[in-house]
Amino acid sequence: MLVIQRLEYDAFGEPPKVLKIKEHHLAALQNDEVLVKILAAPINPSDMLTIQGLYGTKPSLPANGGSEGVGEVIGVGGDVKKVRKGDWVVPLTGPTWSTHLVAKEGDLLPIPKMDVRSAATFKVNPPTAYRLLHDYVHLTPADVIIQNAANSAVGQAVIQIARARGVKTINVVRPRPDLDQLKAELQAMGADYVVTEEELTDLLKSVAAPKLALDCVGGKSTIALTDALAPNGTMVTYGSASKQPVEVSTLALVFRNITLHGFWLTRWFKEPANRGKIGPMYGELSQMILEGKLKAPEMDVIPFRDFDKAFTQALKMKGGAKQLLLFEEACVLKM
């Protein structure tokens, strides 16, 4: 019988305090089930907020953490057809902070073998960037978009996917001591323009006004973004780094016909109309990764047994490198 370890919490609070490793005995696989050995799973900001009780949805307690990751199929039930032992899969539902998980094959996304960091962070951020660039404004080559939090994981994916389509990006970042280095890094990734909010006004004198603004910050930053938009432009908010409300001038809304939307990948996945779009989207994104056109952001790779350290670090970081839990040898096989 397989004993697995996974991270659980029975109260909302600071993740390093409330998360504990629990052991479970796994029952024998049902015919329609797949046993997946998790290889790596990231700690996302939304995971942290969920555990803190601050996210849009609250799980019932006790709960398991981890919303994405990558694993290898190590067992299949008799009726399973689409995945085989040895395949790499991305679980579409968690919990992934676990040495193993059991899932129906329909809840597993088979992916080609690739860099484990890209694979483990494949489910959430690249599709978020993909949908933000596809679902709101029809963009053609030489069109311009603008985004804040350009150095975030989604921001970096936006830069690379836009570049692959010939769409130009204006990337707003916060002032910082190593600003020139950050600019160079994002430009190497494909960013056309990297500016602070202060530098934005000058830039807009010489660049076509953007049709689409992507906002992960809120507050005053959204005034800057919506003021930059072309008439009839659209801003889509998908996060709230500032924890401030989104703001937009009435002039922009009324006289320039700016529209504001919010995007939430969880809702997108739940829409029945989107079922058929999931496969082609991930196919296209896999291809980009294999061709080196879409790289994962920098991350700290930390063994699962040191999860305490990883979560303490995740709590401290604001916009820095993501923590990736690595599950080598963490599972224990018993009788």
Please give the Cα distance from 255 to 192 (Å, whole number): 29
What are the C-alpha distances in Å from 189 to residues 169, 194, 276? 11, 11, 30
Residues 226-265 vs a second copy: string with x where CB under 8 A? -----------xxxx----xxxxxxxxxxxxxxxxxxxx-
Residues 312-331 vs a second copy: string with x where CB under 8 A? --------------------
The b-or-e profile of 26-40 (16+ CB within 10 A means b, else e) is eeebeeebbbbbbbb
Instruction: Between 84 and 267, name the residue whose CB sits nearer to a second copy.
Output: 267
The pair of structure tokens assigned to 111 is 């992916």
Task: Kindly state the smallest distance separating residue 243's Cβ from a second copy, in Å.
Answer: 8
Instruction: Between 237 and 323, name the residue whose CB sits nearer to a second copy.
Output: 237
Instruction: Between 51 and 330, name the residue whose CB sits nearer to a second copy.
Output: 51
Residues 95-134 vs a second copy: string with x where CB under 8 A? ----------------------------------------
223 near a second copy, rule: CB under 8 A: yes
Q: Which of 9, 55, 136, 238 is catalytic?
A: 55
> Catalytic: 55?
yes
Instruction: Between 9 and 136, name the residue whose CB sits nearer to a second copy.
Output: 136
Instruction: Between 181 and 266, name the residue whose CB sits nearer to a second copy.
Output: 266
Q: Do residues 109 and 89 touch, judged by C-beta distance below 8 A?
A: yes
Instruction: Between 134 and 264, name the residue whose CB sits nearer to a second copy.
Output: 264
Task: Kindly state the smallest distance separating residue 78's Cβ from a second copy, in Å.
Answer: 40
Which of the 8 DSSP states describes residue 304?
A: G
Residue 205 CB coordination number (10 Å): 6
The label of the residue with tokens 């998790």 reads 38
Task: Kindly state the smallest distance separating residue 155's Cβ from a second copy, in Å.
Answer: 16
Please give the Cα distance from 229 to 145 (Å, whole number): 9
Residues numbered 37-96 forming contacts with a second copy, rule: CB under 8 A: 56-57
The pair of structure tokens assigned to 148 is 């804040």
Residues 181-220 vs a second copy: string with x where CB under 8 A? -------------------------------------x--
Task: Kindly state the smallest distance separating residue 255's Cβ from a second copy, in Å.
Answer: 3
Task: Kindly state the smallest distance separating residue 156's Cβ from a second copy, in Å.
Answer: 20
Q: Do residues 51 and 13 touch, judged by C-beta distance below 8 A?
A: yes
CB-based contacts of 309-315 (< 8 A; 24+ apart in sequence): 310/43, 311/15, 311/16, 311/19, 311/43, 311/48, 312/16, 314/15, 314/43, 314/48, 315/14, 315/15, 315/16, 315/48
Instruction: Between 263 and 269, name the residue whose CB sits nearer to a second copy.
Output: 263
Q: Which of 58, 85, 176, 267 binds a second copy (CB under 8 A)?
A: 267
Residue among 205, 138, 199, 142 at smallest CA distance from 171: 199
Task: Kindly state the smallest distance separating residue 52's Cβ from a second copy, in Å.
Answer: 14
Q: Is the peptide bond before 297 cis (omega within 30 degrees of 0)?
A: no
Three-state DSSP class for residue 189? helix
Task: Kindly state the smallest distance separating residue 96's Cβ from a second copy, in Å.
Answer: 22
Residues that contact a second copy, how many (by CB under 8 A)? 29
- Give contact residues for a second copy (rule: CB under 8 A): 56-57, 218, 223, 237-240, 245-264, 267
Task: List residues with catalytic annotation.
Answer: 55
